[in-house]
């Protein structure tokens, strides 16, 4: 596997060409399976459209899930972490400067005290 | 003969060309407004050609040292100076050349994109002047071998960057971001200068190679250590490492998209300087394990806090800005591991070099895919007039190319094969795993969170039915698509042929960084 | 001892500058503190090059073997003064626009970018 394209990482290797080839083969196999499916399937909207118990389909603007609602569960689960982290980003320039100078001061004390 | 002269003076031209074109732009804009776009594009193309020529010279022939103000620029130490390099020297080794390649390629793509992105705004003269100044500042930062000279270029890049961040006033919010960026950059710059002064007071020189040599003979004194702290914190702040990253989301989000794409490169020039100072200036004279761990911890904090803050964001550019903070963490992690094992040749050759190569490769990959992502965000803002993820939606129907470029960038940043982000992240994971498995696991978790947050962006911008308020949105203009197209081709090429890139550019850059004696020798002669 | 006086003054200026930046909330005052910090750094640079009894480093017409002060730091200081001028001008113009748009110079109120 020591072709010119193989990226050796010291512990393994990574050959994108093979990966792409495998991906293409998988695509072809998928296509073949798809081809063997039912050819007479009806694709008209009457059989593929959404069926909402006979109710009218809502307007496109009404059914879009906006980005802010995604990952609600994730942020909810990490609520206590975010309660600490988010308020740190105060937007106050004085805090920004304090963080920078504070880190510098701590490092200076560490370096001068610990030889 | 003149051809040879021209070739020998390329490093000088690398600075002179963008500066001349920058300062002539207002003049051209005043008297020949129609020629301005062509003029600035010509300037950027010339800079790119010069940068690539220098890089190819360095990658084939080794370090190029260029002395300013002498008949023969390769003479770094004047014969009558008693072995002291008194002049300003550009010391372009493989690591610098690597950064030059990143800066000029990203700069060219961003310039192409700007030509149509800025077409509707006023004050284009100032915009292009500042942009070329920013390019010159970044190129100077990565090429110079002189500490004070570095400070000057750092300030040029900071001032031009801050003015560009505030360029679109945007009801004053962009000014707020520019003010924060300028203020912190200035303080950081002054502390950096204080460090330079501390070193100058002891060694009476500003040349990094000569300083390193003298420091190697005297050992690390307390003022040296104080100067190191001042350098490291100032540069870590400038490259946006948590917990000094607060300016980064503000500035990246409010700058015009093209500028943001290049501000990322400017931050990475600070990152380069951080590595240069740790490896080439201090190197073996200090306890690299401690400093390495400091950088690793900064990297871990950046990765994790950056990505978790990104998940919360509703503004697409602010979200990407937090990802820029997070990705910087990978570079800090990779190179920090290399620094931590620098004093042990066995560990260095076992996994240290690979970690450094991964971190350095990630700098280039990040510049390309993050530039691409910021440009797609800019296109969306250009066409729709909003960056709020809650208002956007259904753009996949009308902006198919933009969507494709976004997918490429998003998969690359999340480290999905076969894009370039995967190659560098794989190198980081595997080498860091043998240093400390926990670090590697955190890095992988951060990658998953990155993917999750880009799925969110993709869903909210492109998916869903066509929204009525964006019914008349059309595909981006051609120059914008071209700029994004070049970057995405690079992203794919670097993903499919990572080994060639690593062999030609990344591995020499990593060994140049680790080889302090070679750096000293390239200026002082006789390593 | 008296020879070190410039360094003490420089350190004092730097400390005054940092304290001012961290404790004041008016942007104009913060920038005044920034210039004080800058003066401190400049003074530190210039005093590094001073040699007691040294003359200006001009070789033309100088006595043989005369002790001269270091010219490098003077050039550095001059450069830093110019850079400081540019920075201060940029920051002050930012403050002017901010005051017009936000109606305040208090950094506790200039924080629309946060979180």
Looking at residue B75, its pLDDT comes to 82
At B251-305, the pLDDT tens digits run 999 999 899 999 999 999 999 999 999 999 998 778 778 889 999 999 999 999 9
Residue C63 lies in a domain: no
Q: Where are the domains of chain B?
A: 287-496
Looking at residue A61, its pLDDT comes to 63
Tell me whether residues B244 and A71 touch, CB distance under 8 A: no
- Specify the higher pLDDT residue, B172 or A114: B172
Tell me whether residues C101 and B186 touch, CB distance under 8 A: no
Residue C92 lies in a domain: yes
Q: Which residues of C touch A89 (CB under 8 A)?
A: 114-115
At B197-208, the pLDDT tens digits run 999 999 888 999
Work out the average pLDDT over C78-105. Answer: 94
Residue C59 lies in a domain: no
Under the banding of pLDDT at 50, 70 and 90, the label for residue A3 is very low
Burial B188-225 (b: 16+ CB within 10 A, else e): bbbbbbbbbbbbbbbbbbbbbbbbbbbbbeeebeeebb
At B441-454, the pLDDT tens digits run 999 999 999 999 99
Supply the pTM of this predicted model.
0.93
Q: Which residues of A touch B469 (CB under 8 A)?
A: 61
Under the banding of pLDDT at 50, 70 and 90, the label for residue A2 is very low
Below-50 pLDDT ranges, chain B: 1, 527
Looking at residue B2, its pLDDT comes to 67
Tell me whether residues C22 and A93 touch, CB distance under 8 A: no
Say which range, A4-13, B310-319, C52-61, has the weakest mean pLDDT: A4-13
- CATH code for the domain in which residue C30 is found: 1.10.287.3510
How far is the alpha carbon of B499 from chain A, nearest alpha carbon, in Å? 5
Work out the average pLDDT over A7-30. Answer: 86
Q: Which residues of A touch B434 (CB under 8 A)?
A: 10-11
Residue C75 lies in a domain: yes
Measured distance CA(C56)–CA(C77) in Å, rounded: 15
Residue C83 lies in a domain: yes
Q: Which residues of B touch A72 (CB under 8 A)?
A: none
Tell me whether residues C72 and B254 touch, CB distance under 8 A: no
Q: What is the ipTM of this complex?
A: 0.95
Tell me whether residues C80 and B193 touch, CB distance under 8 A: yes
3-state helix, strand, coil in chain C (%, to 5): 65, 5, 30
Residue C62 lies in a domain: no
A84 in contact with chain C, both atoms CB, cutoff 8 A: no
Q: Which residues of A touch B427 (CB under 8 A)?
A: 7, 9
- Specify the higher pLDDT residue, B437 or C65: B437
Measured distance CA(A94)–CA(B351) in Å, rounded: 41
How far is the alpha carbon of B247 from chain A, nearest alpha carbon, in Å? 7
Structural domain boundaries, residue C18: 2-51+70-102
Residue A15: pLDDT over 50: yes
Tell me whether residues A93 and C112 touch, CB distance under 8 A: no
Residue C111 lies in a domain: no
Looking at residue B168, its pLDDT comes to 87
Tell me whether residues B229 and A67 touch, CB distance under 8 A: no
Other C-beta atoms lying within 10 Å of the C-beta of residue A20:
14
Residue C5 burial class via C-beta count within 10 angstroms: exposed 0-12, middle 13-18, buried 19 and up: exposed
How far is the alpha carbon of C83 from chain A, nearest alpha carbon, in Å? 20
From residue C59, give the alpha-carbon distance in Å to each of A38, B258, C51, C73. Answer: 96, 50, 16, 17
Task: Name the closest residue on chain C to residue B308, using Cα atoms.
Answer: C115
- Tally B–C CB contacts below 8 A: 87
Task: Name the closest residue on chain B to residue C107, using Cα atoms.
Answer: B176
Work out the average pLDDT over A84-97. Answer: 90
Q: Which residues touch A108 (CB under 8 Å, ≥6 apart)?
A: B226, B229
Tell me whether residues C115 and B183 touch, CB distance under 8 A: no
- Total of domains in chain C: 1
Q: Residues in chain A, how many? A: 115
Looking at residue A1, its pLDDT comes to 39
Looking at residue B527, its pLDDT comes to 40
Tell me whether residues A101 and C18 touch, CB distance under 8 A: yes
Looking at residue B526, its pLDDT comes to 54
Residue A11: pLDDT over 80: no
- Specify the higher pLDDT residue, C64 or B291: B291
């Amino acid at each position: 596997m020591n072709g010119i394209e193989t990226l050796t990482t010291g512990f393994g290797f990574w050959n994108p060409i093979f990966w792409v080839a495998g991906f293409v083969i998988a695509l072809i196999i998928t296509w073949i399976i798809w081809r063997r499916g039912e050819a007479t399937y009806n694709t008209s909207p009457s059989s593929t459209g959404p069926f909402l118990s006979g109710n009218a389909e809502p307007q496109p603007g009404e059914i879009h899930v906006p980005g802010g609602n995604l990952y609600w569960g994730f942020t909810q689960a990490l609520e206590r972490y975010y309660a600490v982290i988010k308020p740190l980003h105060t937007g106050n320039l004085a805090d920004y400067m304090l963080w920078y100078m504070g880190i510098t001061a701590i490092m200076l004390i560490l370096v001068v005290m610990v030889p | 003969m003149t051809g040879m002269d021209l070739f020998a003076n390329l490093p000088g031209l690398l600075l002179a060309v963008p500066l001349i074109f920058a300062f002539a732009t207002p003049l051209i804009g005043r008297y020949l407004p129609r020629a301005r776009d062509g003029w600035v594009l010509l300037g950027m193309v010339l800079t790119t050609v010069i940068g690539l020529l220098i890089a190819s010279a360095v990658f084939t022939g080794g370090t190029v040292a260029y002395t300013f103000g002498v008949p023969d620029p390769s003479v770094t130490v004047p014969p009558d100076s008693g072995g002291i390099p008194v002049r300003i020297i550009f010391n372009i080794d493989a690591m610098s050349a690597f950064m030059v390649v990143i800066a000029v390629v990203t700069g060219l793509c961003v310039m192409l994109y700007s030509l149509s992105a800025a077409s509707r705004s006023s004050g284009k003269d100032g915009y292009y002047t500042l942009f070329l100044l920013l390019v010159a500042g970044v190129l100077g930062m990565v090429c110079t071998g002189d500490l004070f000279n570095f400070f000057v270029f750092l300030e040029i890049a900071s001032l031009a960057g801050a003015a560009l961040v505030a360029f679109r006033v945007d009801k004053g919010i962009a000014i707020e971001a520019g003010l924060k960026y300028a203020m912190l950059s200035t303080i950081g710059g002054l502390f950096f200068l204080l460090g330079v002064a501390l070193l100058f007071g002891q060694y009476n020189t500003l040349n990094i190679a000569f300083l390193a040599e003298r420091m190697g003979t005297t050992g690390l004194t307390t003022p040296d250590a104080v100067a190191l702290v001042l350098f490291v914190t100032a540069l870590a702040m400038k490259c946006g490492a948590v917990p000094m990253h607060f300016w980064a989301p503000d500035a990246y989000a409010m700058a015009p998209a093209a500028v943001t794409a290049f501000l990322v490169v400017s931050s990475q020039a600070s990152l380069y300087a951080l590595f240069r100072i740790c490896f080439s200036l201090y190197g073996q004279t200090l306890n690299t394990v401690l400093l390495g761990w400091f950088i690793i911890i900064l990297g871990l904090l950046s990765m994790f806090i950056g990505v978790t803050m990104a998940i919360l964001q509703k503004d697409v550019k602010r979200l990407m800005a937090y990802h820029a903070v997070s990705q910087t963490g990978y570079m800090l992690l990779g190179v920090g591991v290399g620094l931590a094992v620098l004093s042990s040749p066995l560990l260095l050759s076992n996994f240290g070099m690979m970690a450094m190569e991964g971190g350095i490769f990630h700098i280039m990959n990040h510049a390309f895919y993050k530039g691409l992502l910021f440009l797609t965000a800019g296109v969306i803002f250009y066409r729709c007039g909003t960056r709020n993820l809650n208002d956007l939606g259904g753009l996949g129907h009308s902006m198919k190319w933009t969507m494709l470029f976004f997918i490429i960038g998003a998969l690359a940043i999340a480290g999905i094969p076969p894009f370039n982000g995967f190659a560098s992240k794989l190198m980081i994971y595997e080498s860091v795993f043998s240093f400390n498995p926990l670090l590697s696991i955190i890095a992988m978790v951060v990658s998953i969170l990155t993917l999750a947050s880009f799925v969110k962006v993709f869903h909210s911008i492109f998916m869903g039915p066509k929204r009525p308020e964006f019914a008349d949105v059309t595909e981006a203009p051609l120059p914008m698509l071209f700029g994004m197209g070049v970057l995405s081709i690079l992203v794919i090429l670097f993903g499919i042929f990572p080994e060639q890139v690593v062999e030609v550019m990344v591995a020499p850059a990593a060994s140049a960084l680790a080889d302090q004696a070679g750096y000293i020798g390239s200026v002082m002669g006789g390593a | 001892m008296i020879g070190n006086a410039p360094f003490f003054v420089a350190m004092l200026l730097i400390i005054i500058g940092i304290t001012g930046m961290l404790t004041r909330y008016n942007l104009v005052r913060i920038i005044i503190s920034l210039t004080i910090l800058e003066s401190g750094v400049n003074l530190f640079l210039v005093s590094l090059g001073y040699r007691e009894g040294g003359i200006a480093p001009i070789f033309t017409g100088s006595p043989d073997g005369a002790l001269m002060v270091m010219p490098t730091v003077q050039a550095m200081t001059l450069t830093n003064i110019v850079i400081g001028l540019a920075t201060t001008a940029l920051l002050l113009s930012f403050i002017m626009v901010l005051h017009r748009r936000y109606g305040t110079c208090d950094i506790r109120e200039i924080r629309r970018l946060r979180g």
